[in-house]
Chains A and B, each alone.
Chain A
């Protein structure tokens, strides 16, 4: 066989793969955008169901992201800088929600915080009932989003050479001072990445939310849930919601990429 033929065959095959991949990944997005009735996107935003879902989604995912950052930063720091027995297991557990089917996560959340769950009874005594409330939405989203923050931030912290922390210590800096003035600035790209990824994950959460929090309009019905519901009775509303979600997700990914490319130092 001539060598040229082989190269040509390889090129054709590569082209075919690329084409199929484009059809698989791009066509659905294009189809979605094409279905938006011109000029109706903003009218649809006035629809109470759509507006409620939009507001709830933004509120819940923002809260979930803030919670994930606040609880995740110290954990990521300890995992990146300390050695302790069972660290491997903790790391795997922290990654678990990433691979767990969301409905399974929802069920697990119910069994932990539900009325008959492990903590449910104690919470009930305090007058708190989590399931089927907006708080449950936040909990479900935070549960699903946490690993998407922990993993990159932990890696980012670990990638900062320990030499910098050591020099800071010899210069008289406390561990806290070094964390805020050396570690955070040197791993800001990992922080942006983790925040964007977990926010996107929280925003798109469906399975755990519907299992743990239900689908109550205005209380627990986030945008992905509304899309699913509207699919049964109003396709146009579902499309409008979907395009909105698409725009937000696209914006988050774009922010992520600019953060990666914005390499002013290092």
Chain B
């Protein structure tokens, strides 16, 4: 189990994060580049001393500013895979993986045997004799993982583990890594700026924003109930916030936001300030103002249209409405409407298509 609170101070920038990760669990630290994610990992590995805070792994204090404790990296039971992997270029794969075991004084034959096991676990036992320079990106990634795991660390730290890989390799490694993380007994902290990977790997996800954890929770909580504009944007959800105004008799209620009133499905047992989340798929686009019952209707220009992989069957449409909305429509719908960037359109969503929570 990892229990930590870390305060990182840089010029004009303070980062403070506290989290608990249960033994065997994977926590994903998500956030954009420059949010300080890598620095947090380096602090956990012992390569950087935070300005304040503490780190305890399985009850052992690795770092405690107040108590003046800071274990050197080689005294921590940690496996760190940096973004650039940093395989030792002068050593064959097997010696790379056996490096930590040898450094800790294990005999050569035993260290090599354990290194072979670690390589087999990530499925690259056949590469033992190669040099890192002769490996593909995906193979290097697996070897770096084997090297970090060979010493059976209590804490595994993965820094953007897939960012150096090309797309097809990334898909393959992603699945393997997910299975491996599920099997591993060690506590894992994984850093990524990619929402898909965050959702894939994270038992729990902590989203960093502006120097602190904006929200922490499991996948469903983050996807269905984002609690900040940044988290919502990261997860691709529309988020509004406002004051709940009385329940109507028709099972609907009005929420007064900074951009005007929104009609929502009346929530039970909720009052005051609430969040309103709207999935992009719930948003319908029109060329002309629709006649009829649509209550939440907004007008604005199409700012951006992004076809979604794999085949571009769906298109994400970013709108310049107030509030800002993102719609996810089928390609057919986009073609039928003749949408191009800059067009003025109407967007609406049903009251029943909203999720409200305090």
The chain A residues found within 8 Å of chain B, CB to CB, are 161, 163-164, 166-174, 177-178, 181-182, 185-186, 265-266
B80 at the interface (CB under 8 A from A): yes
Chain A residues within an 8 Å CB radius of B147: 171
Q: Of B76, B84, B88, B90, which is within 8 A of A170 by CB?
A: B76
Given contacts A163-B84, A265-B131, 10 further A-B contacts (CB under 8 A): A161-B86, A167-B82, A168-B88, A170-B78, A171-B79, A171-B99, A172-B103, A172-B151, A174-B103, A181-B103
Inter-chain CA distance A181–B104, complex, in Å, is 13
The residue of chain A having its C-beta at the shortest distance from the C-beta of B42 within the complex is A166
Q: A163-B84, A169-B46, A172-B151 are in contact. Are A266 and B100 (CB under 8 A)?
A: no
The residue of chain B having its C-beta at the shortest distance from the C-beta of A265 within the complex is B89
Q: A181-B103, A265-B133 are in contact. Are A169 and B89 (CB under 8 A)?
A: no
Chain B residues within an 8 Å CB radius of A167: 80, 82, 86, 88
Question: A169–B86 contact, CB under 8 A?
Answer: no
Inter-chain CA distance A177–B106, complex, in Å, is 13
Question: A171–B133 contact, CB under 8 A?
Answer: no
Identify which of residues 72-108 in chain B touch chain A, using a CB-to-CB cut-off of 8 Å: 72-74, 76, 78-80, 82, 84, 86, 88-90, 99-100, 102-104
B244 at the interface (CB under 8 A from A): no
Inter-chain CA distance A125–B154, complex, in Å, is 60
Chain B residues within an 8 Å CB radius of A173: 74, 99-100, 103
Give the 7 A-B CB pairs with smallest separation, nearest first: A171-B100, A173-B103, A169-B73, A170-B80, A163-B86, A172-B104, A185-B90
The residue of chain B having its C-beta at the shortest distance from the C-beta of A171 within the complex is B100
Chain B residues within an 8 Å CB radius of A161: 86
Question: B89–A186 contact, CB under 8 A?
Answer: yes
Question: B88–A166 contact, CB under 8 A?
Answer: no
Question: A171–B151 contact, CB under 8 A?
Answer: yes
Inter-chain CA distance A53–B86, complex, in Å, is 50
Chain A residues within an 8 Å CB radius of B82: 163, 166-167
Chain B residues within an 8 Å CB radius of A171: 74, 79, 99-100, 103, 147-148, 151
B47 at the interface (CB under 8 A from A): yes
B239 at the interface (CB under 8 A from A): no
Question: B89–A170 contact, CB under 8 A?
Answer: no
Question: A166–B74 contact, CB under 8 A?
Answer: no
The residue of chain A having its C-beta at the shortest distance from the C-beta of B144 within the complex is A167
15 A-B pairs whose Cβ atoms sit less than 8 Å apart in the complex: A166-B47, A167-B86, A168-B88, A170-B45, A170-B47, A170-B78, A171-B99, A171-B100, A171-B148, A173-B74, A181-B102, A181-B103, A185-B90, A265-B89, A265-B131
Chain A residues within an 8 Å CB radius of B103: 168, 171-174, 177-178, 181
Question: A266–B46 contact, CB under 8 A?
Answer: no
Number of interface residues of B (CB under 8 A): 26
Question: A170–B86 contact, CB under 8 A?
Answer: no
Min CB distance, A159 to chain B, in Å? 13
The residue of chain B having its C-beta at the shortest distance from the C-beta of A166 within the complex is B47
Inter-chain CA distance A266–B90, complex, in Å, is 8
The residue of chain B having its C-beta at the shortest distance from the C-beta of A186 within the complex is B90
Question: A168–B45 contact, CB under 8 A?
Answer: no
Inter-chain CA distance A161–B131, complex, in Å, is 18
Chain A CB count within 10 A is highest, among B78, B79, B99, B148, for B99
Min CB distance, B133 to chain A, in Å? 6
Chain B residues within an 8 Å CB radius of A181: 99, 102-103
Inter-chain CA distance A265–B104, complex, in Å, is 26
The residue of chain B having its C-beta at the shortest distance from the C-beta of A266 within the complex is B89
Inter-chain CA distance A185–B104, complex, in Å, is 19
Min CB distance, A191 to chain B, in Å? 13
Min CB distance, A251 to chain B, in Å? 27
Question: B100–A169 contact, CB under 8 A?
Answer: no
Question: A168–B47 contact, CB under 8 A?
Answer: no
Inter-chain CA distance A115–B301, complex, in Å, is 92
The residue of chain B having its C-beta at the shortest distance from the C-beta of A184 within the complex is B90
Q: Of A168, A186, A266, which is within 8 A of B99 by CB?
A: A168
Question: B73–A170 contact, CB under 8 A?
Answer: yes
Q: Of A172, A186, A265, which is within 8 A of B100 by CB?
A: A172
Chain A residues within an 8 Å CB radius of B45: 166, 170
* 0/1 interface trace, chain B 37-65, chain A, CB 8 Å (1 if under): 00000000111000000000000000000
Chain A residues within an 8 Å CB radius of B104: 172
Min CB distance, A127 to chain B, in Å? 45
Min CB distance, B153 to chain A, in Å? 9
